[in-house]
Amino acid sequence: MTPRSLALPLLTAALVLAAPFSAKAMQSSTTQSPYGKLPDGTPIEQYTLTNESGVTLKVITYGAIITELRVPDRSGAFGDIVLGFDKLEPYETKSPYFGAAIGRVGNRIARGRFTLDGKTYSLAINNAPNHLHGGLRGFDKVVWKAEAAKGPNGAPGVTFRYTSADGEEGYPGTLSVTMTYVLTNANELVLHYQATTDKDTPVNLTNHSYFNLSGRGDILGHVLRLAASRFTPVDDTLIPTGAIAPVAGTPMDFMEGKPIGRDLGRLANKPQGYDHNFVLDSGGGHLALAASVYDPASGRALDLLTDQPGVQFYSGNFLDGTLTGKYGVVYQQHDAFCLETQHFPDSVNHPNFPSTILHPGQVYRSTTIYRFSVR
């Protein structure tokens, strides 16, 4: 298949006017400050990255969670475009993975079971009847070691490290993970992932930020374009059937770009909304444009680039008004979207899907870029 991810049609003429922010240049920086303590007294640190345009990223050592991301709208007013909490405790007890690093295996594994090298492994069933996002204590709930880092041209960054022990959450092998977050002066958030293992093990790392380019309210009017002409249909527990189907003629078709809410009524899943893996036309293995999102209200735009073969598009279906987040905002259904770059869900049980198995002597590497602009 010829990759089409960099040659998709534009949504409207307005998209041609996409431009980087024109804020007055300032000094980029990385600062560190206390964020709180876990019940056992473990201190959690916050790193604040600011680039020359004034774009600000805040991330904590608990779960390597992105807690704040402030970018300007078309008038130059800065706003926080990710969901989350004002303090540490809710991230520990009630967060639906807001902003978190996800691993050892992102997304679902059917019935929490897989067979590797002739041995069957049983994992926690934390999203009945399946295993989700690494288990009861996945990478979203561990404390990462962190240090300030520098990206190209002195861009501010932070590097996180964690060693997942052999048998942790039921997975084989000791997995050593390094992640670096860089906020470039081109207004890009770049996430680099790297991992090694001493035994064969599945690995599928991603980030679970919930975006709302308006800052609040629903995202149904956001215009989404996906560079994916196929998707993986799922059963009623959101496990892929194993088929890879065309999006044409279905509510999954975002090839030309459309408001997220346009075809929501055609979806049968409950709660209603998108929670599906899209098969990127780039095929993975090299950095390519995967998705573009535009908010007509604020003028903010987001381009997503990745070297992964898939992206999980989630439209905040399970947000139900029971969580109060930052600034006292109560999060309602469809108040955010997620674009989780990934290998396909339950790949370890589907030989026809791209493999997620990492072998000793290999190095897992992946890069995802979130590029921000205004229109």
Catalytic residues: 208, 340
For 301, the 3-state DSSP assignment is strand
- Residue 232: closest CA among 250, 219, 220: 250
N- to C-terminal Cα separation, the chain: 32
- Residue 304: closest CA among 214, 371, 222: 371
For residues 37 and 177, what is the distance between their CA atoms, to the nearest angstrom? Answer: 23
For residues 297 and 51, what is the distance between their CA atoms, to the nearest angstrom? Answer: 25
For residues 136 and 126, what is the distance between their CA atoms, to the nearest angstrom? Answer: 6
For residues 36 and 40, what is the distance between their CA atoms, to the nearest angstrom? Answer: 11
The values of phi and psi at residue 222, to 5°, are -60, 140
> What is the helix, strand, coil percentage profile of the chain, to 5?
10, 40, 50
The values of phi and psi at residue 353, to 5°, are -90, 155
